[in-house]
Amino acid sequence: MDSRTERLSDAELHAFFDRLFSEGFAGADVRAEVAPNGWEQSPLVACFHPSVERVFEERVQFHQNIAALRMAGSRPGDPAQVETEAPPAPTLEDVLREYQPEPVQADAELTELVGLCLWDVFSDSHEVITADGRVADIGSFRGAGAFLDERLTGERGGWREGDYLRFYLGTIWINARADLAPVYAMIFRRMRALGADWVYQFPELGLVNFGGLRPDSESLARYSPNEALAAEHKAQKREAEVARLRADLEEMNTRAREDAMDRLPPATVRAYRQVFGRDPKGWPPA
C-alpha cells in the first residue's frame, strides 16, 4: 500500500464498520443473507463441524506438508534418514477413534466466520477503498486481527495479549470446508451500498534483506582493514545469494500467477463479480 495514500482515522474506521454491520456480525440481517434456512441447515456449518472424511483429508495434507519441509531442510544424502524418522501418516481409523462431534453454536460460529471473512477482504494485502477515495486500513496482518477482535469485545484501549490470533490469517484453515462466496458476497453488498470498492492483491512470496544495516559506533571503533576485507567479501557473497533467491522467488510467483489462471478464481473474486458485475482491480493477476 502506498504510504502516501490517505486513510480513514480510527474513529472513522469504527463508524464505517458500524454502518456495514449495524446489527453486528451475526445479526438477523446477516443470518438472512448467508443462512436463510437457519445456520444448522447451512452448508457453512461445515466450517466448524467438518465430516470425519474432511478431517482425515486435512490431517493427511498437514502430514505431507511437514514431510516436504523436513525433506527440503535435509542435507544431501539424508532424505532416507529423514523419511525413516518421520512420524507415520494418519489413518482414517485414527481419526474415527478421536472424532468427537460438538454441538452447534449458531451465533458464535456465524460471528467467527464473518470475522474471518472480513480479515480476508480487509487484510491479506488487499485494499478497501471508501466512497471518498480513502483506504479503510484496519491494520497489518496481526493488526487487522486485533481490530476485528476489538469490534466484538468493545475494548479499544489497545491490544490484549494474544487477541489478534482470533482472526489472524482469516479463513486459511477452514476455506476448503465450504464455499465461502456467500459470506464474501454479503460483505461486498454492504460495501457497495456505502459506495466502497475493493482492490485485489495476488499473494506473492517476498524477501526482506537486513544485510544493508549500518554498523554501530562500537563496531567502527574496532575497525580492522583485514576484517573489513573479509567482511566485504562475505557481504558480496551474501548479496549474490540474495539476488539468486530473489530470482527464484520471482520465478515461483510468475508460475503461481499462471497457475491461478487455470483454476477457479478465489471465492473473494467470484463473490465480487456477483455483486459488482465485473472483476476487481488486481484480477486477473498481471
78 pLDDT more than 60: no
In a domain, 254, yes or no: no
Residue 94 contacts by C-beta under 8 Å, 6 or more apart in sequence?
59
Q: Is it the case that residue 233 has pLDDT exceeding 80?
A: no
- 236 domain-assigned: no
CA–CA gap between residue 229 and residue 1 (Å, rounded) = 39
Q: Is 129 helix (H, G, I), strand (E, B) or coil?
A: strand
The widest CA-to-CA distance across the chain, in whole angstroms, is 76
Q: pTM for the whole thing?
A: 0.78
Average pLDDT over residues 252-257: 62
Q: Residue 179's pLDDT is what?
A: 97
Q: pLDDT digit string (tens) for 122-157?
A: 999 999 999 999 999 999 899 999 999 999 987 655
d(CA 151, CA 114): 12
Q: Look at residue 83 and tell me whether its pLDDT is greater than 60.
A: no
Asked whether the predicted pLDDT for residue 195 surpasses 50, the reply is yes
Task: For residue 11, name the pLDDT band (cuts at 50, 70, 90).
Answer: very high
**Percent with pLDDT over 90 in the chain:** 59
Q: Give domain status of residue 249, yes or no.
A: no
| pLDDT, position 66 | 86
pLDDT at 70 over 80: no
Number of domains in the chain: 1
Question: Residue 41 sits in which domain range?
Answer: 18-201+268-276
Residue 62, all three cell numbers: 498437514
Where is pLDDT greater, at 216 or 126? Answer: 126
pLDDT at 254: 61
Give the pLDDT mean for 6-24: 96
Three-state DSSP class for 135? strand
Q: Tell me: the pLDDT tens digits for 24-61?
A: 999 999 999 999 999 999 999 999 999 999 999 999 98
Asked if residue 182 is part of any domain, the answer here is yes
Bridge-partner residues for 127, per DSSP? 199
Mean pLDDT in residue range 158-172: 76
Is residue 211 in some structural domain?
no
Average pLDDT, the chain: 84
Is residue 103 in a domain? yes
What's the grid cell of residue 201? 492483491
What does the CA dihedral 264, 268, 272, 273 come to, rounded to 10 degrees? 0
Q: According to the model, what pLDDT value does residue 207 have?
A: 47
Q: Is residue 147 in some structural domain? A: yes
Per-residue pLDDT, averaged over 5-26, amounts to 95
Residue 261 lies inside a defined structural domain of this protein? no
**What pLDDT band is residue 214 in, cutting at 50, 70 and 90?**
low
Q: Is the dihedral of CA 224, 227, 233, 237 positive or negative?
A: negative
**pLDDT of the residue at 181:** 98
- If phi > 0 it is left, if psi is from -120 to 50 it is alpha, else beta; for residue 38 that is left
Q: Higher pLDDT residue, 214 or 21?
A: 21
* Cell numbers representing residue 35 in the block: 443462512
For the chain, the C-alpha Rg in angstroms (whole number) is 24
Are the C-beta atoms of 274 and 185 separated by less than 8 Å?
A: yes
Mean of the pLDDT values across residues 166-190? Answer: 96
Question: Angle between the 181-193 and 106-122 helix axes, to the nearest 10 degrees?
Answer: 70
